[in-house]
Homo-oligomer: A and B are copies of this chain.
C-alpha cells in the first residue's frame, strides 16, 4: 500500500482529543461566557483530566483563540502565494481576502471563523491574549517582506518598513473586526465590507477626513 496513512493510532487519538477539547470549550463559551467557564468543566466535557488539558493547551486562552490562529495561518499561506513583486499592503490585502473567501468556496470557513469571533470580542480577558497572537503574526508577515534579501543581518530601515506594513494592515483588519463585533450584524459579508473600507482607506489615509 503506497498511500498508507501517515498518521499512527496515537496521532489520530491526539488529534481527536485536541479537537474535542476545542469543540467542548467553545460550546461552553457560548452557553456561559469565557470567564465563568472553568478549565475543569472543559476537561470534564472532553473526558480528559485537567492535567491533560494543560498538556494540549498552555492556558485557557489558547484553546479559545485556536480558531483565530487557524485563520492567521490561512492568511500567511495565502500571502506566500502572492507574486513576490507585489507591494506589501497590496499583497496583504489580497491575502486576507483569499483566506476569507476564495480559500473556502462555500464560505463555511469564514462562517466558522466569525462564529468564534463574537465570544472573543466580548471577553475582555481574551482581547489581550488575542493581541499577543496578532503581534506574533505580524512579525511573521513582516518576515515575508525582508527575508530573501542578500544580507542576513539586521536591516533596521527595511525591518521598520516591513513591520509597519504588517502592523498597519493588522490594525485595519482589527478595526474592521471590532466594528463588526460592535454592530449587531452576524453576517460575515458585513465583516468583509468593513475590511474593504479599512484596507482601501489605509493607502489613501493621507487624504482622509479632517477633524470635527
Residues of chain A having any CB pair with chain B under 8 Å:
82, 84-89, 91, 124, 127-132, 135, 144-149, 156-165, 167-168, 170-172, 174-176, 178-179, 183, 194, 197-198, 201-206, 208-212
Contact partners of A209 in chain B: CB under 8 A: 87-88, 145, 158, 161-162
List the number of copies, as a whole number: 2
Partner of A210, one of B85, B128, B130: B85
Contact partners of A144 in chain B: CB under 8 A: 211-212
The smallest C-beta distance from A141 to any residue of chain B, in angstroms, reads: 11
Structural contact, B212 and A146, CB atoms closer than 8 A: yes
A13→B94 CA distance, assembly (Å):
57
The smallest C-beta distance from A185 to any residue of chain B, in angstroms, reads: 11
Main secondary structure of the interface of A (DSSP, over half): helix
Known: A163-B175, A163-B179, A164-B198. A87 touches B212 (CB 8 A): no
A208→B179 CA distance, assembly (Å):
28
- In chain B, what residue has the closest Cβ to A144? B211
Structural contact, A124 and B131, CB atoms closer than 8 A: no
Structural contact, A87 and B161, CB atoms closer than 8 A: no
Known: A164-B175, A164-B198, A171-B170. A208 touches B88 (CB 8 A): yes
The smallest C-beta distance from A57 to any residue of chain B, in angstroms, reads: 16
The smallest C-beta distance from A166 to any residue of chain B, in angstroms, reads: 8
Contact partners of A159 in chain B: CB under 8 A: 179
Structural contact, B87 and A210, CB atoms closer than 8 A: yes
Structural contact, B178 and A163, CB atoms closer than 8 A: yes
Structural contact, A145 and B205, CB atoms closer than 8 A: no
Contact partners of A149 in chain B: CB under 8 A: 212
